[in-house]
Structure 1
Amino acid sequence: AATVAVTTAPGDAVRVRLWPEGDQDAERALEPAADEEPETREVDGEQRRRVPYALPAELPLGWYRLEAVTGSGERARIDVAVTPRRLSTTDRLRGRRRWGYMAQLYSVMSSRSWGVGDLSDLASLAALSGVQGADYVLINPLHAAEPEPPVEPSPYLPSSRRFFNPLYLRVADVAEFPYLRPADREVVDRLAAVQRKAVLDPSSIDRDPAYAAKLKTLELLYTVRRSPYRQQQLEAFVAQAGQPLQDFALWCALREELGEDSPLWRDEARSPESPYAQEARTRLAHRVNFHVWLQWLLDEQLEAAQRATHRAGMDIGVVHDLAVGVHKHGADAWALQDAMAAGMSVGAPADMYNQLGQDWSQPPWHPEKLAELGYRPWRQMMRTIFRHAGGVRIDHVAGLFRLWWIPEGNTASDGTYVYYDHEAMVGVLALEAELAGVVVVGEDLGTVEDSVREYLESKGVLGTSILWFEMDGDVPRDPSRYRELCMASVNTHDLPPTPGYLEGVQLQLREDLGLLARSPEEEREDARAQLETFFAAVTEAGYLPGGADADAETKVEALYRYLCDAPSLLLNVSLVDAVGEKRIQNQPGTSDEYPNWRVPLADADGRPVMLESLPRMPRVQRLVDVVNEALGTRRRTSAVTAPEQPERRDLADPFRSAS
């Protein structure tokens, strides 16, 4: 049986109690473990007695509070987590392989989008792909960025991983939208007209004007009086979110007031508990409440998107992506200082691809401080993401075991690995996933120890396989030898879409940007040899009768048919592959030299692709048919429906200002 050690002065009586989190009336007394002897030792010159107390057998999964009170009045409390031995959500997937689209949501737009894909577009994508036979949609991280323009384009360098980005709101879906004042509606219509034109620009996504237009509209919507029912819903959300939401909203308001580089961040406004920050809670209360309200709207629209996936027949739904860290000047770094390592940054050691290593400028969790906090920040993060999700992909999942720490002011090569209590980190993740009923996928590409993969697999965490990276020596690994507990893909967002990869667009881009480590001729020869090797295997498997002479679309379909031979439980279909897009979303090693994370969805000829056109694109339908036939899945007959709107009740006098 599991035990908890309680250390006291010898002879000091102690009472130990345990109760489920939030239900102290259900407490029970614990007794010393019968099969373990107490131990007495000297600590700092004093005798201390360590007594193991037995936890009850077969405790239900969940969180508990344990309290020890001594006869002398000393009191201590800790959190206790009862975690699953293995995720049942993964085991429920067995018996049927599933596929889903992998998409960068900001790039997937409809005629109603405001310059960037949003949560209503996500619901629509889920609806149409569910009809096609998909069981999930894997999207980029939707983490919160800066509260006002300019905003960081990379979804993997967020301000906070505990809250979401209002950029993804569909403002017209806010329940109060129909009740805007006529003059305000005219303003909004002008903003909408400009942003809907931006949707038709296939060159680049400009988040800043889109976000500015949405914020202006949302500020107008915030003045519309909410119905009693809506106000009640907002208050319930705020109460459930608690202090973390208040601190995040305060940071947003302060960031608007101070900007990023104000010296006050290092002194007066250094933390949520500082006198300056406490005074700002009152002085900036209107803006704080505004940012709280935005998170409530996001919660509503995230719920609507996940609901749309189930109405479309999906049994998983939206699979969110969890970035590896946060911006060092962001909301989480400010609010969670007690859990982070000051003066440190996360990165990667030197390898054959980057001889200098990498510094991601993201502060790491401090393993000891995180443990002292009962892993609450980690738990809160999981709960936020799982609240309206069917799954989660953990970027750089090996970071739950160890991270490469770099002292501030040093190079990446000066770093070292710092290890975490992976049993606790994975245990908390598994517990929250099990309670929420979500599937967990770990991105375990690159140099990851076999022991890490084996441990994660034993817990029911799926791994990741990329077709181009699966090799046995110099030849492609037969897909039948891929892992079963795995999410398999042809490519990643750090590689071009498959149509572009076949053309070698990545080589031309890297040559243009001066990123080639060898001569262009050597790089092209290696790329040609790689493709030749893969297509020889695909042809031998019988999926490319025309061999190397086949056209690009046929080759893409053949690669997916080849990948479908894998026993992997989940198989991603890149939306960019389906429409014929060739441009890469992210070119590693660049910042402003390339429009990373700003490439809108376009077809093989560079024309913008709208969501409404996807069901009518023959290329999309052919690839879907290839995957469905190979996996034994079928299209569904349910009609594509618009996402449900938030419920509207008793919207009294819409022209009164909110109090």
Structure 2
Amino acid sequence: MPEQPLHSADRPSDDLLRLAEAYDIEARYQGHDGEHHESSAHTLRAVLAALGVDASSPERIALALAHVENMPWRRTLPPVVVAREGRSVDVPVHVTHGDPVEVWVELDPEAGGGRRDLAQADVYVEPRTVDGRVVGRATFTLPGDLPLGWHEIRAEGPSAQAHSPVVVTPARLALPEALREGHVWGLMAQLYSVRSRASWGIGDLADLADLGWLSGRLGADFLLINPLHAAEPVEPLTPSPYLPTTRRFVNPLYVRVEDVRETAYLSAADRALVEWAAEPVQPLDTDPGPIDRDAAWAAKRAALEVVFAQPRSAARQAALDAFVEEQGEGLRTFALWCALVERHGAPETWPAPLNDPYSDEVVAAAVELADRVRFWSWLQWVADEQLGRAQQAALDSGMALGIMHDLAVGVHPAGADSWALRDVLANGASVGAPPDMYNQQGQDWSQPPWHPAELARAAYRPYRDMLRTVLRHAGAIRIDHVIGLFRLWWVPEGNSAAEGAYVRYDHEALVGILALEAHRAGAVVIGEDLGTVEPWVRDYLADRGVLGTSVLWFEQTPDGPLPPERYRREVLATVTTHDLPPTAGYLAGEHVQLRERLGLLTRPVREVQAEADAERERMLDALRERGLVGPDPSEREVIEALHRWVLATPSVLVGVSLADAVGERRAQNQPGTDQEYPNWKVPLADGSGNVVLLDDLVTSARLASLARVMNEG
């Protein structure tokens, strides 16, 4: 492949390249154009700085190289050991050269507990002098028959007193019985857009329960929804569900006030306060304009304050206390952050001492704001209860999986996780994507990435805790941008999105822990592996039992659409996705017209429209060849035929956009825009722009017809 040259002044030295490699930074990558691209010396130094490594001069680089080479020898044990079920693993143990050491594993109580002594392997490694001490390496073998779980390895000797977590992960995440032979289908919905006559201007968790029940009655086995991660605690709220303040906790905006049990016991005066809060926003349910999250949350927050003040029964208080105890320090810290935002406004404006979650000022604030911390913790409890009821309603309706939750790539740079997890997030860089055919300048998503080494030092517990919360009431989980478990494009602060570099992650650990937590929750895992993903990554994920993603419009060959028989089996296959217009709008070429109006096209509109028309005609020709449509099909007939095409694939999961099921034409999200388009604010509507309420779906002939098509398969 041809290579894009760098000017000599920008070319990294050999030592800088060695240092970058030592910290898992890829100095070269293959772009979407098939060409190899090199990162400049400036970019590599900036990425290293975000990792806490000073590479500002040749002397500093030499010191950093010596440090990274000696770093493992300074620890008795690795910070964490992640092993696959059925495979033995050699663990290096560092002690003063010649000293004896005893090593054993204490088993996870959830896996039965107990102790397993480890045998030393016959592996000789030359001792090394580190910080004036001669250090030897003994190798001990973790046996392959350890049970799944979070265990602990311990080492004791004259120069060793150490312990580290040992995580044994499933060799392969097994599919549930319903997916082992044939396939199942499900609906895909943006929950905030699906409103009922009882909503407060935005779809909520009671609507989720009803939509899950309806989906099951229609024959669906799962319901994929947008991420429910928490946004800001006070207005203005970030609309994008993919830019949350935290990925661990739930957005209380989705709570149905009337479904909190204590609401039933309000006095007449307090009930009136709740009803008055609802009055301004309930008429918004039928408003075809952009969803107003700020109005909905202001109304709900006022009402929930009233309900929170209502006394709870002893049993209910005990349940709340147990939830808070179970969620531990993570919930307390998140609730404190919410209380601080209430008091001081956006984190960017806080007094400097509050930026450190461990400062004396923050400790004092936790005491002063204790009642507000209890309020924000209580909100997570009531949201968790309602999520549990929604999943149970979905399963009770006959679904095999129920609710499929979505996990965003990262978090807001000024959010709760960026504050509370700063020790395991990189400072001075954000996540994005290199230039591609759709975004020629690259993308900067503004989200701070995990710091690979610090996350490992924390034994991946922040990652595990996040997964456990998302999986609490899930039958499946979709991982957005799953390649991020392998590598992420880091954009150093001050650089353009094109001036970044890939940083590799320990995918064996990240995918393994994901599989372990999904196994414990009984959930299926789907990785969104669209775009430039190396074939080996897809093979690896398939080997671990993580399903992939196929979107009909992206599955193309030089001769036209990829025949359905050639799709992968272990994927979620769909006609469209939330980053594309609904199929009715796509078929009409409205996405081209929209991009032209927004100034997003880099070529003449006639060329782009001609390509879109040709793509549509190739698809229609393929449908006709298979007898799926006649010579002059209606829009509805084409949409149903496209779903029959996807049903003809061997894919184990087939998804149907709820927007397609009602004839919606408007996109939920227009990549490349911010304020120019109402991203993530479009309410569910039909092809004429008329609002479609959840209540209307029960009698929707179009939805029922598409469901019959899906059940034929």
TM-score when normalising by structure 2? 0.86
Alpha-carbon offset, residue 510 of structure 1: 1.4
Q: For the Cα contact (< 8 Å) 2:482–2:527, is it kept in 1?
A: yes
Cα deviation 1:158-196 (Å, max 9, x = unaligned): 000011100000110001001122112112112223222
The yes-or-no answer on 1:524 pairing with 2:609 is yes
- Structure 2 counterpart of 1:625, one-letter code: R
Q: For the Cα contact (< 8 Å) 1:89–1:434, is it kept in 2?
A: no
For 1:150-299, what aligned pairs fall within 5 Å after superposition? Answer: 150-264=236-350, 267-299=352-384
* 1:263–1:129 CA distance, 2 compared to 1 (3 A): closer
1:332 to 417, 422, 435: 417
Q: For the Cα contact (< 8 Å) 1:30–1:55, is it kept in 2?
A: no
Alpha-carbon offset, residue 16 of structure 1: 2.4
Q: For the Cα contact (< 8 Å) 1:90–1:461, is it kept in 2?
A: no
1:115 to 194, 201, 208: 201
Structure 1 unaligned regions, length at least 5: 632-659
- Structure 1 counterpart of 2:644, one-letter code: R
Q: For the Cα contact (< 8 Å) 2:187–2:657, is it kept in 1?
A: yes
Alpha-carbon offset, residue 402 of structure 1: 0.4
Q: Which residue of 1 aligns with 2:436?
A: 351
Q: Which residue of 1 aligns with 2:151?
A: 64
Q: Which residue of 2 aligns with 1:9?
A: 96
**Higher RCO (Cα < 8 Å, 6 or more apart):** 1
2:660 to 577, 581, 594: 577
Q: For the Cα contact (< 8 Å) 1:30–1:53, is it kept in 2?
A: no
Alpha-carbon offset, residue 614 of structure 1: 0.9
Q: Distance in 2 between matches of 1:223 and 1:456?
A: 48
Q: Distance in 2 between matches of 1:124 and 1:25?
A: 39
Alpha-carbon offset, residue 388 of structure 1: 0.6
Q: Distance in 2 between matches of 1:262 and 1:162?
A: 22
The yes-or-no answer on 1:378 pairing with 2:463 is yes
Q: Which residue of 2 aligns with 1:563?
A: 646
- Structure 1 counterpart of 2:174, one-letter code: S
Q: Distance in 2 between matches of 1:244 and 1:539?
A: 55
Q: Distance in 2 between matches of 1:88 and 1:36?
A: 35
1:587 to 644, 663, 670: 670
Tell me the secondary structure at the aligned position of residue 187 of structure 2: strand
Alpha-carbon offset, residue 587 of structure 1: 0.7
Q: Which residue of 1 aligns with 2:533?
A: 448
Q: Which residue of 2 aligns with 1:551?
A: 634
Tell me the secondary structure at the aligned position of residue 161 of structure 1: coil
Q: For the Cα contact (< 8 Å) 1:30–1:54, is it kept in 2?
A: no
1:46 to 126, 133, 144: 133
2:600 to 503, 515, 536: 515
Alpha-carbon offset, residue 25 of structure 1: 9.8
* 1:407–1:555 CA distance, 2 compared to 1 (3 A): same
Q: Distance in 2 between matches of 1:3 and 1:261?
A: 45
Q: Distance in 1 between matches of 2:369 and 2:347?
A: 19
Q: For the Cα contact (< 8 Å) 1:346–1:362, is it kept in 2?
A: yes
Q: For the Cα contact (< 8 Å) 2:488–2:504, is it kept in 1?
A: yes
Greater mean deviation of Cα atoms: 59-68 or 109-118 = 59-68
Q: For the Cα contact (< 8 Å) 1:496–1:585, is it kept in 2?
A: yes
For 1:277-426, what aligned pairs fall within 5 Å after superposition? Answer: 277-426=362-511
Cα deviation 1:186-210 (Å, max 9, x = unaligned): 1211222322210010121100010
- Structure 2 counterpart of 1:69, one-letter code: E
Q: Distance in 2 between matches of 1:263 and 1:387?
A: 35
Greater mean deviation of Cα atoms: 60-69 or 461-470 = 60-69
Q: Distance in 2 between matches of 1:24 and 1:116?
A: 43
Q: Which residue of 2 aligns with 1:93?
A: 179
Q: For the Cα contact (< 8 Å) 1:496–1:583, is it kept in 2?
A: yes
Q: Distance in 1 between matches of 2:103 and 2:266?
A: 58
1:460 to 545, 564, 571: 545
- Structure 2 counterpart of 1:382, one-letter code: L
Structure 2 unaligned regions, length at least 5: 1-87
Tell me the secondary structure at the aligned position of residue 160 of structure 1: coil
TM-score when normalising by structure 1? 0.93
Q: Distance in 2 between matches of 1:31 and 1:319?
A: 40
- Structure 2 counterpart of 1:28, one-letter code: R
Cα deviation 1:368-397 (Å, max 9, x = unaligned): 111111011111111011111000000000
Tell me the secondary structure at the aligned position of residue 269 of structure 1: helix
* 1:24–1:476 CA distance, 2 compared to 1 (3 A): closer
Q: For the Cα contact (< 8 Å) 1:109–1:117, is it kept in 2?
A: yes
Q: Distance in 2 between matches of 1:25 and 1:625?
A: 47
Greater mean deviation of Cα atoms: 97-106 or 610-619 = 610-619
Alpha-carbon offset, residue 509 of structure 1: 1.4
Aligned residues: 626
Root-mean-square deviation over aligned CA pairs: 1.6
Q: Distance in 2 between matches of 1:24 and 1:41?
A: 38
Greater mean deviation of Cα atoms: 185-194 or 410-419 = 185-194
Q: Distance in 2 between matches of 1:14 and 1:285?
A: 47
1:605 to 643, 665, 688: 688
Q: For the Cα contact (< 8 Å) 2:252–2:383, is it kept in 1?
A: yes
Q: Distance in 2 between matches of 1:522 and 1:275?
A: 62
Q: Distance in 1 between matches of 2:628 and 2:527?
A: 30
Q: Which residue of 2 aligns with 1:625?
A: 708
The yes-or-no answer on 1:148 pairing with 2:273 is no
Q: Distance in 2 between matches of 1:179 and 1:159?
A: 33
Q: For the Cα contact (< 8 Å) 2:348–2:414, is it kept in 1?
A: no
Q: For the Cα contact (< 8 Å) 2:111–2:147, is it kept in 1?
A: no
Q: For the Cα contact (< 8 Å) 2:155–2:163, is it kept in 1?
A: yes
Q: Which residue of 1 aligns with 2:35?
A: none
* 1:351–1:196 CA distance, 2 compared to 1 (3 A): same
Tell me the secondary structure at the aligned position of residue 119 of structure 2: coil
Alpha-carbon offset, residue 19 of structure 1: 1.6
- Structure 2 counterpart of 1:106, one-letter code: Y
Alpha-carbon offset, residue 9 of structure 1: 0.8
Q: Which residue of 1 aligns with 2:522?
A: 437
Cα deviation 1:325-357 (Å, max 9, x = unaligned): 000000001111111111110101111211110
Q: Distance in 1 between matches of 2:242 and 2:684?
A: 19
Cα deviation 1:442-500 (Å, max 9, x = unaligned): 00001111111111011011100000110112411001100000001101111111111
* 1:620–1:387 CA distance, 2 compared to 1 (3 A): same
